[in-house]
Amino acid sequence: MPAAPPAAPEIDTPDAVLVVDFGAQYAQLIARRVREARVYSEIVPSTMPVAEMLAKNPRAIILSGGPSSVYADGAPRVDASLFEAGVPVFGMCYGFQLMAMALGGTVEHTGAREYGRTDLRVSRTDSTLFEGTPADQQVWMSHGDTCSAAPDGFSVTASTDVVPVAAFENDEKKLYGVQHHPEVLHSTYGQQVLEHFLYRGAGIEPTWTTANVVEEQVALIREQVGTKRAICGLSGGVDSSVSAALVQRAIGSQLTCVYVDHGLQRKGETEQVEKDFVAATGVQLKIVDAEERFLTALKGVSDPEQKRKIIGREFIRVFEQAQAEIVAEAGAEGEDVAFLVQGTLYPDVVESGGGSGTANIKSHHNVGGLPDDIEFQLVEPLRKLFKDEVRMVGQQLGLPDEIVQRQPFPGPGLGIRIIGEVTRERLDLLREADAIAREELTAAGLDREIWQCPVVLLADVRSVGVQGDGRTYGHPIVLRPVSSEDAMTADWTRMPYDVLAKISTRITNEVADVNRVVLDVTSKPPGTIEWE
């Protein structure tokens, strides 16, 4: 069996800020907020030794919140040597309390708690963190322990009715902390406080942009691929399209895009790829008809993880077949198609249990669903980016809005939007329902407001209905409209009732064997955006 493919080269980011994840639901949001301040950030697990963190040469380190009490057995800890390394550190919530304890301050389990919106009183509005913000401001709290005394050498700069030390600062050592969550929008001046730490406390220049990403990745791709050839699995979605455009910018005609018509696409998807993407980029495109192969492999399979892995495996096998065909068609002996380009994003890595020490939420076919004996080396130019950053890179590359602003669509396609076995009949049914929903959202001008609207078929569920004065026993369709910035967290979109009514009426009237349309009103967390 071939050895596992080597990892792609990493972006050289000397100004990186490390976000140490103590199990916080907002760790990814902190990283995003830092990037919004035009400073590159990465998430690392709290189990990473301090020496390894410092070996990354970070410009600053942020300690995230977390669900634990600092007094709980087995609660995450931080080595006090971190605060003597000369690297600026900013503690938030749990990270703030860990910093206080490690440096000799007092954190007490008083039983007094603060959750949600809280009034913060800033005692020093001229401090590094709070300059230019009001003395009274609203913040978002989530804690049960309380810091009652700051470490020696620290100035207390804010308090609440419950917490005497709600923020402290030590400019000499460049150590700062706040009890609240500045990364959430409910903390009115949170982004300003975070930027004050980055720019004033840590002295970082805001220079990280999507133009930097394009330049760095083009250089890395050329270094990685050299004179060999690459293929890209083009789905027509934002991620694969931007990945392909980036790689083509780097290696030109050495790239061939392979579009696998696996039968799991939405209505009109193949035609859109041929028309929009090829017209915009001029890339070489090979279309492979593999519908029968995928449906045969998925026959009788209902488990979502198994479906994802089967789809990932079949993708690779189709690519291996396409590799031989591309070389044969080119008539170039010895020209090796050695690289596979994928649109892996940072949320894919995090949710698959990589990159942050987090639990595996689900396998992504481009992260955790690849077979062990893959013969390609991976090129993943978007692996460290969030979705909105990918869109900005696409704009930087000159891709049209029809591609860049397209709603996210999962790599396994409609195969994971059918709850139950995937069959051709069920796919046709779901395709029609999905097309109706997309048409009506576009007609209502909601495309930009809604991040994504998965349409899900509950294939193994039937419900009683009445259509044409007769009793029916049809499938339910689920609408899952969500609003989000990066897919790490999401809320269900409050769509106008008349739009929902029109979608429901059209689906039940026009799609055979569907007699019920329901709305998913679950946020993420606790639910994921996709059902499988």
Residues annotated as catalytic (active site), given as ranges: 93, 181, 183
Rg (CA), the chain: 25
For residues 399 and 280, the answer to whether their CB atoms sit within 8 Å is yes
The residues facing 471 across adjacent strands are 466
Handedness of CA 145, 146, 151, 157 (dihedral sign): positive
For residues 415 and 311, the answer to whether their CB atoms sit within 8 Å is yes
**Where in 397-493 does DSSP place strands (E)?**
455-457, 463-467, 470-479, 482-483, 491-492
**Dist. CA 298–CA 321, nearest whole Å:** 19
DSSP 8-state secondary structure symbol assigned to residue 452: B
**Dist. CA 394–CA 388, nearest whole Å:** 10
Helices (H), 331-360: 346-351
Handedness of CA 520, 523, 528, 529 (dihedral sign): positive
**Dist. CA 44–CA 354, nearest whole Å:** 10
Contacts with 74 (C-beta within 8 Å, 6 or more apart), sequence order? none
